[in-house]
A and B are shown apart, each in its own frame.
Chain A
Amino acid sequence: MINSDQLSGFFWLAISIFVCIEASRVGIGDVHSQGPGFLPFLSGVMLGTFSIILVVTSTLRKPAKREVKNLWKGMSWGKVVLVLILLLIYALLLSILGYLIATFGLIIVLFGIVGKTEVWIKVVAGIITVLATYIVFYVWLEVQLPKGILGF
């Protein structure tokens, strides 16, 4: 079974290969005349080397301490995935629905994720949060919050 260091080592190896290819594409140059890809290429090579060392040392390590599946054992990882999905949806809807509506929706859902909260508390807390942040950020700090297609 693959352990967490092996998996992360392979991930960094893939990243390093990508960085080296990209750096070569824009031009590495040499030590006398460095191109835009000079340092990214060196960094990619270093990252690749270290990731190989990580994979090798974690393969030789006995017993493998942490299997990947154990990282999430007994954890409420479903809530993490849910929050991430909600945030992504929120980011995508922010410019369409506008700050007030999108944020109200997000806050109501988030209040219910950890522990049980009554609906009226969620609604009141959502309204207070949206209005308070709107006043602080839009009115006081003059942050241009997205208005959305409804114009507010």
Chain B
Amino acid sequence: MIIFHNLFYGFSVALQPEHILVCFLGVLLGTLIGVLPGIGPLGAIAILLPATFRMSPVSAIIMLAGIYYGAMYGGSITSILVNIPGEAASVVTCLDGHEMAKQGRAGPALGIAAFGSFFAGTLGIVGLMVFAAPLAEFALKFGPPEYFGVIFLGMTLLMYLSRGSLLKGVMMAVFGLIISFVGLDPIEGSPRLTFNLLQLWDGIGIVPLAMGLFGIAEILINIEESAAHEVLKTKIKNIFPNFSDWMQSKGAILRGSILGFFLGILPGGGAIISSFVSYGLEKRISKEPEKFGRGAIEGVAGPESANNSATAGAFVPLFTLGIPSNVVMALLFGALTIHGMRPGPFLMTNHPDLFWGVVSSMYIGNIMLLILNVPLIPLWVQVLKIPYKILFPLILLFCIIGAYSIRSSIFDVLLTIIFGMIGYLFRKFDYEAAPLVLAFVLGPLFESNLRQSLTLSKGSFSIFFTRPISAVSIILAIVLLVIGFMPYFTKAREKFEAK
């Protein structure tokens, strides 16, 4: 019963006019950036983070969360109509969604994506409500070694699951840690890695880093490729899927919703991975796997449901353990700390308005998204036709203003541009920035928990292996790293011997 009482309280927060407005703005902007190829939810949250500084923490998180799950809805529109994912979690939707559109079934594809997302999003929120409280209670037993173990596992999983080379993923995470050490040492207060620049004594901000690596870098890549995006010329009809479509999709939606939620909770998981896993699962259990890639509606329903419920699942570790499970959550972690909140087991008890307000706003946001996505699809198709030469200067300008507005500092603008250049080079040289940002955000927690643990154990690393939670987490992380690195050593040895 307590859950309904809390939910009722949450709705009393979420239904305040200010919160309804920011929720609407969030889901609207989320859909917009999901629709527009070239800027994902990460870049959008980074760009809009400074705009939330004048808001209350509850409003800020409601809006930023709205951008995240809104982008999941919007991304499917671009995938289906243009065959280019609006954001990374909609990559697999291209496979069958665009095929359906080419066969004149763009309407049912868009419809099932929207309805599936709605169902999954709602189910994910129920999961968030049910799992958050027990996990927060469990997290109260955590000491520094447990936190260190879970953070280490989370970073390892993200490196392990990130696309491309594991070695490069690990290097990115280590570099992220190094950047997080810039500034004053948290214990002794002496400056380190600051190049004798006073501006770096406070460390590097999450906004210039994320805005540069994801916002500016993305634009530079798009300018370089100058790819023309052509919207499929098809009449969008029958947005409401027919009985047969529903029968084919119902299992995929349910499986995608449950799978996505639990993959979203896992450190290193999230919307992208869950959509891929859901697609693989649907193809594997289908009686007609050959239909996949040729316009199977289950190939749209499953992944679109999975990526939406994963967004709700990802909030569980952030709100209960204070550990972001993916890089978007890392930005929200940054947003919470900027607003003076400390994510963790006490968040639900100390700031129930924030937790229950955000949860309840997600119900409202999902309904708004259904309304925005089903009848307004023709409007989003028009948005897709805005030329990139108009869009990119505006996005660049928002990045610059966003970076400047935090501390009114030209130095932060320069940092953003430098990180933009670095992010562009990362993309060219096949390095993924996500492990870097997650490690950067977790760096201070990583350092303080490691040093506190070593102080407690008088310098002995055995403390991490005598406590069950930290021992399991660290051993699992080490096993993953060993499995991941094994091919490097065996292949290198074989090549060396062959020479």
Chain A positions within 8 Å of B, measured between CB atoms, are: 4-5, 7-8, 12, 15, 19, 22-23, 26-27, 30-40, 43-44, 46-47, 50-51, 53-54, 56-57, 60-62, 71-72, 75-77, 79-80, 83-84, 87-88, 90-92, 94-95, 103, 106-107, 110-111, 113-115, 117, 125, 129, 133, 137, 141-146
**CB-contacts of B421-451 with A (<8 A):** 421, 424, 428-431, 447, 450-451
**Given A8-B431, A83-B220: A90 in contact with B400 (beta carbons within 8 A):** yes
CA distance A117 to B392 in the complex (A): 14
Residue in A19, A44, A56, A133 whose CB lies within 8 Å of B492: A56
Give bound CA distance, A4 to B177, whole Å: 24
Q: Given contacts A53-B488, A143-B50, are A47 and B190 in contact (CB under 8 A)? A: no
B389–A76 touching, CB < 8 Å: no
B190 with A87: CB separation less than 8 A: no
Q: Considering the complex, give the chain A residue whose CB is closest to the CB of B430.
A: A4
**Would A36 and B223 count as touching, CB distance under 8 A?**
no
Query: Is the pair A71, B390 in contact by a Cβ cutoff of 8 Å?
Result: no
* Main DSSP-derived SS at the A contact region: helix
**Residues A133 and B223 in contact, CB atoms below 8 Å apart:** no
Contact A39 B450 (CB under 8 A): yes
Least CB distance from A29 to B in Å reads 10
Can you name the residue of chain B whose Cβ is closest to the Cβ of A50? Answer: B171
Q: Mark B370-413, 1 if CB is under 8 A from A, else 0.
A: 00000000000000000111101110111011001100101001
Instruction: For the complex formed, measure the closest distance between the CB of B44 and the CB atoms of chain A, giving whole angstroms.
Output: 16
**Chain B interface category by residue count:** 35 or more
Report the Cα distance A106→B401, complex, angstroms. Answer: 13
Q: Which residues of B contact A (CB under 8 A)?
A: 50-51, 53-54, 167-168, 170-171, 174-175, 177-178, 181, 185, 187-188, 190-193, 216, 219-220, 223-226, 387-390, 392-394, 396-398, 400-401, 404-405, 408, 410, 413-414, 417, 420-421, 424, 428-431, 447, 450-451, 454, 458-461, 488, 491-492, 495-496, 499
Residues of A within 8 Å of B216, CB to CB, are: 87
* A8 and B429 contact, Cβ closer than 8 Å, known pairs A79-B224, A94-B410, A110-B396: yes
Q: How far is the CB of A131 from chain B (nearest CB, A)?
A: 13
Extra 11 A-B pairs, beta carbons < 8 Å, given A87-B216, A114-B226, A117-B389: A26-B185, A36-B190, A40-B178, A53-B167, A77-B224, A80-B224, A87-B400, A90-B400, A141-B51, A141-B405, A146-B410
Given A62-B495, A141-B51: A91 in contact with B414 (beta carbons within 8 A): yes
The answer, among B401, B410, B459, for a CB contact under 8 Å with A30, is B459
B223 — which chain A residues lie within 8 A by C-beta?
76, 79-80, 83, 113-114
- List, in ascending order, chain A residues with CB within 8 A of B496's CB: 60
Most chain A CB within a 10 A radius of its CB, from B53, B193, B491: B193
